Amino acid sequence: MNTLTVYGSTGMIGSAITAEAAARGVDVTGVTRKAPEQVADPVAGVTYVTGDIGDTADVAARAAATDNIVFSIPGPRDGSSVQPIIDAHAALISALADQGTTARIFIVGGAGATFTPEGIMFKDAPGFPADYKAEAESFAQILDLWRAAPESLDWVMLAPAPEIAPGAATASYLLSDDRPAGGFVTTGTFATAALDELETPAHRRTRFIVANG
Protein backbone atom coordinates (compact mmCIF):
# COMPACT_ATOMS: atom_id res chain seq x y z
CA MET A 1 0.00 0.00 0.00
CA ASN A 2 1.48 3.31 -1.08
CA THR A 3 -1.30 5.87 -0.66
CA LEU A 4 -4.26 6.23 1.67
CA THR A 5 -7.02 8.85 1.78
CA VAL A 6 -8.95 9.14 5.05
CA TYR A 7 -12.32 10.89 5.27
CA GLY A 8 -12.97 11.91 8.87
CA SER A 9 -9.24 12.14 9.52
CA THR A 10 -9.64 14.41 12.55
CA GLY A 11 -12.31 12.35 14.32
CA MET A 12 -11.70 9.98 17.22
CA ILE A 13 -11.21 6.86 15.08
CA GLY A 14 -10.17 8.54 11.83
CA SER A 15 -7.32 10.40 13.52
CA ALA A 16 -6.01 7.14 15.00
CA ILE A 17 -6.08 5.47 11.57
CA THR A 18 -4.36 8.50 10.04
CA ALA A 19 -1.61 8.45 12.68
CA GLU A 20 -1.06 4.70 12.40
CA ALA A 21 -0.81 4.88 8.62
CA ALA A 22 1.68 7.75 8.76
CA ALA A 23 3.75 5.86 11.33
CA ARG A 24 3.96 2.95 8.88
CA GLY A 25 5.31 5.22 6.16
CA VAL A 26 2.13 5.44 4.11
CA ASP A 27 1.50 8.57 2.03
CA VAL A 28 -1.67 9.84 3.74
CA THR A 29 -4.17 12.47 2.67
CA GLY A 30 -6.45 13.46 5.53
CA VAL A 31 -9.82 14.81 4.45
CA THR A 32 -11.73 16.96 6.91
CA ARG A 33 -14.55 19.48 6.79
CA LYS A 34 -12.21 21.96 8.48
CA ALA A 35 -9.76 24.17 6.67
CA PRO A 36 -6.33 22.48 6.79
CA GLU A 37 -4.87 25.26 8.93
CA GLN A 38 -7.61 24.68 11.51
CA VAL A 39 -6.67 21.06 12.18
CA ALA A 40 -5.66 20.68 15.81
CA ASP A 41 -2.70 18.39 16.48
CA PRO A 42 -2.05 17.50 12.83
CA VAL A 43 -0.11 14.29 12.21
CA ALA A 44 3.37 14.97 10.86
CA GLY A 45 3.71 14.12 7.19
CA VAL A 46 -0.05 14.02 6.50
CA THR A 47 -1.48 16.29 3.80
CA TYR A 48 -4.79 17.71 5.03
CA VAL A 49 -7.45 18.89 2.59
CA THR A 50 -11.01 20.11 2.95
CA GLY A 51 -13.76 17.76 1.80
CA ASP A 52 -17.02 16.07 2.68
CA ILE A 53 -18.37 12.58 2.10
CA GLY A 54 -21.50 14.19 0.65
CA ASP A 55 -19.54 15.69 -2.24
CA THR A 56 -19.73 12.62 -4.46
CA ALA A 57 -17.74 14.00 -7.38
CA ASP A 58 -14.88 15.07 -5.11
CA VAL A 59 -14.81 11.70 -3.34
CA ALA A 60 -14.76 9.87 -6.68
CA ALA A 61 -11.87 12.02 -7.87
CA ARG A 62 -9.90 11.28 -4.71
CA ALA A 63 -10.67 7.57 -4.98
CA ALA A 64 -9.24 7.59 -8.50
CA ALA A 65 -5.97 9.01 -7.16
CA THR A 66 -5.37 6.69 -4.18
CA ASP A 67 -4.73 3.02 -3.46
CA ASN A 68 -7.08 2.89 -0.48
CA ILE A 69 -9.84 5.16 0.78
CA VAL A 70 -11.22 5.17 4.32
CA PHE A 71 -14.61 6.54 5.38
CA SER A 72 -14.57 7.18 9.12
CA ILE A 73 -17.74 9.25 9.30
CA PRO A 74 -20.14 8.62 12.21
CA GLY A 75 -23.87 8.78 11.87
CA PRO A 76 -26.00 11.48 13.52
CA ARG A 77 -26.11 11.72 17.30
CA ASP A 78 -27.92 15.04 17.69
CA GLY A 79 -31.41 14.00 16.65
CA SER A 80 -30.87 14.98 13.01
CA SER A 81 -31.94 12.79 10.12
CA VAL A 82 -30.01 9.64 9.28
CA GLN A 83 -30.84 10.07 5.61
CA PRO A 84 -27.94 12.34 4.52
CA ILE A 85 -25.21 9.85 5.50
CA ILE A 86 -27.17 6.94 4.00
CA ASP A 87 -27.73 8.89 0.78
CA ALA A 88 -24.04 9.81 0.66
CA HIS A 89 -23.00 6.15 0.74
CA ALA A 90 -25.62 5.21 -1.85
CA ALA A 91 -24.36 7.93 -4.19
CA LEU A 92 -20.75 6.87 -3.64
CA ILE A 93 -21.48 3.25 -4.47
CA SER A 94 -23.08 4.27 -7.75
CA ALA A 95 -20.34 6.76 -8.67
CA LEU A 96 -17.42 4.51 -7.76
CA ALA A 97 -18.91 1.58 -9.64
CA ASP A 98 -19.53 3.71 -12.73
CA GLN A 99 -15.99 5.04 -12.48
CA GLY A 100 -14.54 1.56 -12.23
CA THR A 101 -12.44 2.53 -9.22
CA THR A 102 -9.62 0.19 -8.24
CA ALA A 103 -9.17 1.75 -4.79
CA ARG A 104 -9.87 -0.48 -1.83
CA ILE A 105 -12.77 0.97 0.14
CA PHE A 106 -12.63 0.75 3.94
CA ILE A 107 -15.66 1.80 6.00
CA VAL A 108 -15.58 2.34 9.75
CA GLY A 109 -18.84 0.82 10.96
CA GLY A 110 -20.86 1.17 14.14
CA ALA A 111 -21.06 -1.26 17.03
CA GLY A 112 -24.80 -0.75 17.40
CA ALA A 113 -25.43 -2.56 14.11
CA THR A 114 -23.56 -5.68 15.28
CA PHE A 115 -25.27 -8.53 17.10
CA THR A 116 -25.63 -9.55 20.74
CA PRO A 117 -24.94 -13.16 21.80
CA GLU A 118 -28.72 -13.65 21.57
CA GLY A 119 -28.66 -12.77 17.87
CA ILE A 120 -30.35 -9.36 17.88
CA MET A 121 -28.71 -6.09 16.91
CA PHE A 122 -27.40 -4.10 19.85
CA LYS A 123 -29.52 -1.15 18.66
CA ASP A 124 -32.65 -3.23 19.24
CA ALA A 125 -31.60 -4.60 22.62
CA PRO A 126 -33.16 -3.31 25.86
CA GLY A 127 -31.17 -0.49 27.38
CA PHE A 128 -29.36 0.55 24.22
CA PRO A 129 -28.48 4.27 24.63
CA ALA A 130 -31.01 6.48 22.88
CA ASP A 131 -28.28 8.95 21.84
CA TYR A 132 -26.67 6.29 19.64
CA LYS A 133 -29.83 4.80 18.17
CA ALA A 134 -29.89 6.92 15.00
CA GLU A 135 -26.22 6.26 14.28
CA ALA A 136 -26.76 2.53 14.71
CA GLU A 137 -29.79 2.60 12.43
CA SER A 138 -27.79 4.42 9.76
CA PHE A 139 -24.94 1.90 9.81
CA ALA A 140 -27.31 -1.04 9.58
CA GLN A 141 -28.66 0.46 6.36
CA ILE A 142 -25.21 1.49 5.10
CA LEU A 143 -23.95 -2.08 5.53
CA ASP A 144 -26.92 -3.35 3.52
CA LEU A 145 -26.10 -0.87 0.75
CA TRP A 146 -22.50 -2.05 0.50
CA ARG A 147 -23.52 -5.71 0.61
CA ALA A 148 -25.70 -5.03 -2.43
CA ALA A 149 -22.98 -3.03 -4.23
CA PRO A 150 -21.65 -4.19 -7.61
CA GLU A 151 -19.12 -7.00 -7.41
CA SER A 152 -16.48 -4.74 -8.95
CA LEU A 153 -16.15 -2.74 -5.73
CA ASP A 154 -13.55 -4.04 -3.29
CA TRP A 155 -14.88 -2.91 0.08
CA VAL A 156 -14.65 -3.93 3.71
CA MET A 157 -16.25 -2.61 6.91
CA LEU A 158 -14.63 -2.80 10.34
CA ALA A 159 -16.83 -2.22 13.39
CA PRO A 160 -15.61 -1.70 16.95
CA ALA A 161 -16.47 -3.71 20.02
CA PRO A 162 -19.53 -2.39 21.89
CA GLU A 163 -17.33 0.10 23.75
CA ILE A 164 -14.53 2.12 22.15
CA ALA A 165 -12.44 4.89 23.68
CA PRO A 166 -9.16 6.69 22.99
CA GLY A 167 -6.12 4.69 24.00
CA ALA A 168 -2.95 3.01 22.83
CA ALA A 169 -2.95 -0.24 20.90
CA THR A 170 -2.86 -3.43 22.92
CA ALA A 171 -0.30 -6.14 22.21
CA SER A 172 -2.91 -8.20 20.40
CA TYR A 173 -6.48 -7.98 19.19
CA LEU A 174 -9.43 -10.26 18.58
CA LEU A 175 -11.48 -10.42 15.38
CA SER A 176 -14.98 -11.75 14.82
CA ASP A 177 -17.84 -11.49 12.35
CA ASP A 178 -21.37 -10.56 13.42
CA ARG A 179 -20.92 -10.88 17.19
CA PRO A 180 -18.14 -9.01 19.02
CA ALA A 181 -15.23 -11.09 20.32
CA GLY A 182 -14.86 -8.75 23.30
CA GLY A 183 -16.55 -5.84 24.99
CA PHE A 184 -13.97 -3.09 24.55
CA VAL A 185 -11.45 -1.74 22.04
CA THR A 186 -9.13 1.25 22.10
CA THR A 187 -8.78 3.54 19.11
CA GLY A 188 -5.14 2.49 18.88
CA THR A 189 -6.07 -1.18 18.61
CA PHE A 190 -8.78 -0.36 16.09
CA ALA A 191 -6.29 1.57 13.96
CA THR A 192 -3.74 -1.25 14.12
CA ALA A 193 -6.34 -3.77 12.94
CA ALA A 194 -7.47 -1.38 10.19
CA LEU A 195 -3.95 -0.91 8.81
CA ASP A 196 -3.19 -4.62 9.09
CA GLU A 197 -6.26 -5.29 6.97
CA LEU A 198 -5.40 -2.60 4.45
CA GLU A 199 -1.83 -3.86 4.10
CA THR A 200 -2.75 -7.56 3.97
CA PRO A 201 -6.41 -7.98 3.03
CA ALA A 202 -8.10 -10.91 4.73
CA HIS A 203 -11.72 -9.74 4.48
CA ARG A 204 -13.45 -8.70 1.28
CA ARG A 205 -16.98 -7.40 0.74
CA THR A 206 -17.92 -8.12 4.33
CA ARG A 207 -17.97 -6.65 7.83
CA PHE A 208 -15.79 -7.78 10.69
CA ILE A 209 -15.34 -6.61 14.28
CA VAL A 210 -12.30 -5.90 16.44
CA ALA A 211 -11.82 -6.01 20.22
CA ASN A 212 -8.79 -5.69 22.46
CA GLY A 213 -6.89 -8.92 22.96
Q: Quickly state the pLDDT bin for 16 (edges 50, 70, 90).
A: very high
Return the pLDDT at 1: 74
Domain of residue 194, CATH code: 3.40.50.720
Four-point Cα dihedral 188, 195, 122, 153, nearest 10: 160
Hey, how many other C-beta atoms are within 10 angstroms of the C-beta on 11? 18
pLDDT tens digits, one per residue of 130-148 = 989 999 999 999 999 999 9
Return the pLDDT at 129: 92
Radius of gyration of the chain (CA): 16
pLDDT tens digits, one per residue of 17-47 = 999 999 999 999 999 999 999 999 999 999 9
Return the pLDDT at 56: 98
Using CA atoms, how far apart are residues 122 and 111, in angstroms rounded to an integer?
Answer: 7
Return the pLDDT at 101: 96
Total domains present in the chain: 1
Q: What percent of the chain has pLDDT above 90?
A: 93
Total count of residues recorded for the chain: 213
Residue 175 pLDDT > 80, yes or no? yes
pLDDT tens digits, one per residue of 38-92 = 999 999 999 999 999 999 999 999 999 999 999 999 887 766 788 999 999 999 9
Return the pLDDT at 82: 85
3-state secondary structure the chain: CCEEEEECCCCHHHHHHHHHHHHCCCEEEEEECCCHHHCCCCCCCCEEEECCCCCHHHHHHHHCCCCEEEECCCCCCCCCCCHHHHHHHHHHHHHHHHHCCCCEEEEECCHHHCECCCCCEHHHCCCCCHHHHHHHHHHHHHHHHHHCCCCCCCEEEEEECCEEECCCCCCCEEEECCCCCCCEEEHHHHHHHHHHHHHCCCCCCCEEEEEEC
What average pLDDT does the segment 84-109 reach?
A: 97
Using CA atoms, how far apart are residues 170 and 198, in angstroms rounded to an integer?
Answer: 19
Domain that holds residue 108: 3-212
Question: For residue 50, what are the β-bridge partners?
Answer: 32
Return the pLDDT at 12: 97
Q: Quickly state the pLDDT bin for 201 (edges 50, 70, 90).
A: very high
Return the pLDDT at 195: 98
